[in-house]
Structure 1
Amino acid sequence: MTTVIDGKAVAADVREQLANSVDTLRDADVTPTLATVLMSDDPASETYVSMKQRDCEEVGIEARDVRISADAPADELFETIEDLNADTDVDGILVQMPVPDHVDKQAVLRSIDPEKDVDGFHPENVGRLVAGDARYKPCTPHGIQKLFESIDLDPEGKDVVVVGRSDIVGKPMANLLIQKAEGGNATVTVCHSRTRDLAEKTRQADVVVAAAGVPELVDGSMLSEGAVVVDVGVNRVDADTEKGYELVGDVDYDSAAEKASAITPVPGGVGPMTRAMLLYNTVKAASRQEDVPVELP
């Protein structure tokens, strides 16, 4: 019987525990605050920001909504980030990606105070992650670790294939899984667009994390019997629906579920965990900056 890993339920549990952590901070007169910065007219980006703000309100985090015109000069964004870095009431800063083409994305990431970089993408925080001393774990890989915990999966000694090498998921996921630490100690293979015979690699894996951004790239024929499958992909494909499209993952769910011992759905799997771990990092940031210890889930 295949276990469907319910990301919504796990994320709700994380949020409930974080609400208690926020209460501890508030008892010490600390209000954790996340500033979300949106410099885009993209409806999807606006939706993501609104969802993150609602999540903040649910657990008691103050959400500061900062909007900048997509046509504004890049300097306006950098000056905004500089002001937020200096604002002692702001614990976390998230610049919603993508930014407009005339803005240097890497410069944006470098401009955020590493202590307030709750996405975990500042080069200093990336370096600390690789070194095994993470300040903030990137939200999606950390959320996947929490999903593993929810099904009592210890990666130690397991063969894991990560399909995709993005800075947001693939690379940090591999780094977390190879750490000599709880939630790590796995043997990790990272596959990507230049990998020869992807199926040969995935069939050898106890765990497959699909994060390539290619609709239904991995199917059941590419899995070993009883593998655990985590689908990070969210792809919009044409479909005969009211909206004219449907969302599918990087895994062909039906065929993969026939082989897998556990699998995440799309939607409702990894996505809710990404948002929950953003809240986690914001609470952790407030605890660090105000020197108020809290219990984190």
Structure 2
Amino acid sequence: MSNPKPVFAGRTILSSTISKSYTQEIAEKSELVRTNVKPNGKKPYLVGFLANDDPAAEAYATWTQKTCEDMGFEYSLRRVPNKDFLEEKIIEANNDNDIDGIMIYFPVFGDAQDQYLKQVIKMEKDVEGLNHTYYQNMYHNIRYLDEEKKLKSIVPCTPLAIIKILEFLKVYNSLLPLGNRLYGKKAIIINRSEIVGRPLAALMANDGCTVYSVDVHNIQKFTRGEGLKFSKHQVEDLGANTPELLKELSLDADIVITGVPVDNYKFPTESLKEGAVCINFSFHKNFSDDVKSKASLYVPSTGKVTICMLLRNMLRLIENNYHKEAKPQVGEQ
């Protein structure tokens, strides 16, 4: 009589566990920034604007406040019941020198107007990295805002958080040079939003990964461009998103990342490659309870790591502004 095949059970890794690897570093950096960089000696100050009744946004705001309080940041949640006044409130915050960072809990209008609101936030206070300059730099793999390489560009915080999660899980091969550490890996991302899915695909492709980006209508393939090490990624349209094509690509993917913003979506466990790494960044649970029967590592949410990256971005903005103000202007030398 043959022995039964052992039941495999992968590990669940919580975002709270991963975020602990960054909290001390960020708290220490916050204190250094407060004492050495900020002219008034006050704590770094973040303002979040909430103009919707989305439970995911409300939860994100609660996590942000708690994390700020735990790590030595000042935080204020400003609720805007009438979303038509949100732009005016953002401009007021732009002009308030005591405020170091501004964020909006999306969606607000749920359409192109949300894209406009992202650009209303002053670039120097955009902790989420949604300004068009930051996006352009990210897509073209440009790491700095200046030729002297003193002002670091900001990376959108949720895609950055997922990259940091992959690094924590040792999916990135640290023995390979920067820009190649996902070489040989294949990933599938079930989301192509402009806030997370598309930029994440670009970041991973720029690090050497073959990424299949999935939305409701079609599937695109992201790969790193030929030539220079930091060349722009390339995108190929693979056609309509059919169950057959999606399953074929999924069964070959080392990494599966989901971000479907509806409660009834579940990624089919039978479409997972044995030993795949699975990460969900949706507020809703996109994987079934049996995901660990196939996945080696499963991260059910990313929120706490995202907030860490958001605060990390704010400290970088404060330092950038300090360096810009310290740099002699034309005629002052």
Q: What TM-score comes out, normalization by structure 2 length?
A: 0.74
Q: 2:310 aligns to what?
A: 278
Q: What amino acid sits opposite 2:321 in the alignment?
A: Q
Aligned equivalents of 2:286 and 2:281: distance in 1? 7
Instruction: Name the CA shift for 1:102/1:209 in 2 (closer, same or farther; >3 Å).
Output: closer
Helix, strand or coil at the partner of 2:204:
helix
Is the 2:187–2:254 Cα contact (8 Å) retained in structure 1?
yes
Q: Quote the offset at 1:27 in angstroms.
A: 2.1
- 263, 286, 305: which is aligned to 1:250? 286
- 91, 98, 105: which is aligned to 1:96? 105
Q: Quote the offset at 1:147 in angstroms.
A: 1.2
**Tell me, which stretches of 5 or more residues in structure 1 are unaligned?**
236-248, 293-297
1:61 aligns to 2:73 (yes or no): yes
1:230 aligns to 2:279 (yes or no): yes
1:33-66 deviations in Å (ceiling 9; x for gaps): 1111122355553443232122111111121332
Aligned equivalents of 1:187 and 1:95: distance in 2? 32
1:290 aligns to 2:322 (yes or no): yes
Q: 2:15 aligns to what?
A: 7
Helix, strand or coil at the partner of 1:291:
helix
Q: 1:245 aligns to what?
A: none
Is the 1:5–1:147 Cα contact (8 Å) retained in structure 2?
no
Is the 2:187–2:255 Cα contact (8 Å) retained in structure 1?
yes
Q: What amino acid sits opposite 2:24 in the alignment?
A: E
Q: Quote the offset at 1:165 in angstroms.
A: 0.7
- 214, 217, 225: which is aligned to 1:191? 214
1:212 aligns to 2:212 (yes or no): no
**Tell me, which stretches of 5 or more residues in structure 2 are unaligned?**
1-8, 144-152, 173-181, 218-240, 325-333
Q: Which structure has the greater CA radius of gyration?
A: 2
Instruction: Name the CA shift for 1:146/1:103 in 2 (closer, same or farther; >3 Å).
Output: closer
Q: Quote the offset at 1:105 in angstroms.
A: 1.4
Instruction: Name the CA shift for 1:104/1:253 in 2 (closer, same or farther; >3 Å).
Output: same
Aligned equivalents of 2:215 and 2:110: distance in 1? 25
Instruction: Name the CA shift for 1:257/1:132 in 2 (closer, same or farther; >3 Å).
Output: same
1:48-197 residue pairs with structure 2 within 5 A? 48-70=60-82, 74=84, 76-100=85-109, 104-133=113-142, 135-154=153-172, 155-179=182-206, 184-194=207-217, 195-196=241-242, 197=244
Q: What amino acid sits opposite 2:13 in the alignment?
A: I
Is the 1:39–1:100 Cα contact (8 Å) retained in structure 2?
no
Aligned equivalents of 1:250 and 1:26: distance in 2? 40
Provide the aligned C-alpha RMSD in A.
2.2
Instruction: Name the CA shift for 1:46/1:160 in 2 (closer, same or farther; >3 Å).
Output: closer
